[in-house]
Amino acid sequence: MVYYSTSSTRAKLLTTFRNLLAVGFSNAYERRIMNPPETATDATRRLEMRLGDLGVPGKFVDEIIGHHTVVNYNKGSMVFLQGSPADVMFWVLAGLVKVYCPRPDGTRILVKLAGPGDFIGHVDYIDSSGRRSQVFEVEALTKCSVALFTREHVIKLLQSLDHAALLEMIERLNTAWSSMAQWFGTFLGMSFRERLEVVLKELGAGFGVRDTRGILLMPELAHSDLADMIGSSRPMVSRLIAGDDRRKLTAAPRQAVYSS
């Protein structure tokens, strides 16, 4: 487990990862993210909120929820690979997955962690054969359940909306993609230290639990995962975490990390 604090720069990183890392899940948290009734309700609520932000009518959400196939994946399993057909989209019901962007040199950038209520598999490109294919690849970080629904079904639902509703969705979708492009542009201009601070803050907001010691980061991540998220090497992350402290920080299973 990792405790993340929002006090400032180098001292913040140092105290945040005092005993770092091989971050382990607590049994309670693992039960919470894999409990079917609880996670299904949570995932549905998050899906409704996210689609609502795009101006999607409630009946659209009901149709998606009512027409899907659930597939379970073990920890470490690949949900899909880059280049896979993009005729199916995915909705995380329970557990956590890593969304990677493979690079030509064989390395990968960890784009995000996705949890209950998150869409994955909707980012595609047109391959040399003219087919829509997956841009990213996704690996199960924990045992997880994912709902599959076809792109064809989503298109039919969109075709049933009136022009005004479609125009509003396009406007909001454009705003969402613009915000994402702006975020990545800003991120690329940051130092590795600044990127790490941003990543930790976002992990804390999405997957953290606040207690008296700070924000407990529950996902099971390692230095290499954080390196993948900021586009650096694992040794660089270790140096950023250690700061000016000469102590050797190690990654032991289920090791708690505290912050001030």
What tens digit of pLDDT does each residue of 99-153 get?
Answer: 999 999 888 999 999 988 888 998 999 999 999 999 999 999 999 999 898 888 8
Residue-by-residue DSSP string for 81-99 = -TTSB-SEEEEEEES-EEE
- From CA 63, how far away is CA 178, in angstroms rounded? 28
Residue range 67-110, pLDDT digits in tens:
788 899 999 999 999 999 999 999 898 899 999 999 998 889 99
Q: Is the dihedral of CA 15, 19, 21, 25 positive or negative?
A: negative
Q: Quick check: 196 and 226 in contact, CB under 8 A?
A: yes
- From CA 177, how far away is CA 201, in angstroms rounded? 21
Q: What is the CATH number of domain 2-27+190-242?
A: 1.10.10
- Both structure tokens of 192: 């590795």
Domain residue extents for the chain? 2-27+190-242, 29-168
0.75 exceeded by pTM: no
Q: Quick check: 245 and 16 in contact, CB under 8 A?
A: no
3-state secondary structure of 49: helix
Q: What is the CATH number of domain 29-168?
A: 2.60.120.10
> Which residue do the tokens 């890593």 mark?
98
The mean pLDDT of the chain is 77
